[in-house]
Copies of this chain bind each other. A is one copy, B any other.
């Protein structure tokens, strides 16, 4: 059960609802939103009578929620969410395409990517300035210098910048440069970080953890939403399985299930989803065909020289080809790109 308060509800009214919940032997979870407060009820085994609360002053409605994720559930909000990222949308009729290098490496590299992305029809520039790397000895990104280069590329091309934030302490820094904050797969259950981006009002791209279930992904989105940031885009990027020939196993079935269970937009990352350059375009086509709201793809002017993820990066010419092919699929489905 979720008790949604009126925007104008007073602190006392919120308190009264919480007190009532405790009186019934349950636990209230006050979820302060940007606009209005919601109060989750847990500890209840069976259903909680809604009318007990709906008659209380300050209460907008009492929503029974069968899923453990509530704010992001399609039970709570059946119509699909469209996330607006400084003018570019994700989740509507038009597919969102994000392209760029794994890591920002230099001004020349990021500008070449941004121009190619722009020209082929992408609206977003991706690129890592802070890079989570398995080894402490690998290239860790250009950090703030990388953020500045992303901002420079935005200035020239008008693309929106999406880039990863790795720790609560750098959320403010990254949010200063980025249009959209990315939570990487390894941080999907870094709850302190989720709460930190939930406190901002920057849209968030939340990547599925490499062995996260669909439910856990939605629970992580719920963390962000529970702090009042509802502008969340989910990303299927492949899960870890026993198969050694591909880097990950892209779970396109999850896209379908996510769109059934939640109102949030879902995009697909075919690059990490297979980890092999020759497989990226086919999986991009499949991602659009399954009904995703967009794609995020790694491109590089010279993949063989990339400091990270070279083997899965498309050349700029291949990206152009990819866009041609996915446009045909989008047309067939009545979506724009």
Contact = CB atoms under 8 A, between A and B. Distances in A.
A37 interface: no
Given A289-B288, A329-B332, A135 B68 contact: yes
Interface residues of A, number: 75
A286 B332 CA distance: 12
A249 interface: yes
B276 A282 contact: no
Chain copies in complex = 4
Contacts of A241: 239, 241-242, 249, 251
A139 to B, nearest CB: 8
Interface stretch (A84-92, A144-152, A215-223): A215-223
Given A136-B226, A213-B245, A243-B213, A169 B166 contact: no
Contact of A211 (B31, B211, B285): B211
A276 B257 contact: yes
A134 B186 contact: no
A163 interface: no
A43 to B, nearest CB: 9
A219 B135 CA distance: 6
Interface stretch (A5-13, A110-118, A172-180, A190-198): A190-198
B239 A249 contact: yes
Contacts of A191: 132-133, 136, 166, 186
Interface of A: 27, 29, 31, 40, 42, 68-70, 132-138, 166-170, 186-187, 189-193, 210-211, 213-216, 219, 222-223, 226, 238-246, 249-257, 260, 273-274, 276, 278-279, 282-283, 285-291, 328-329, 331-333
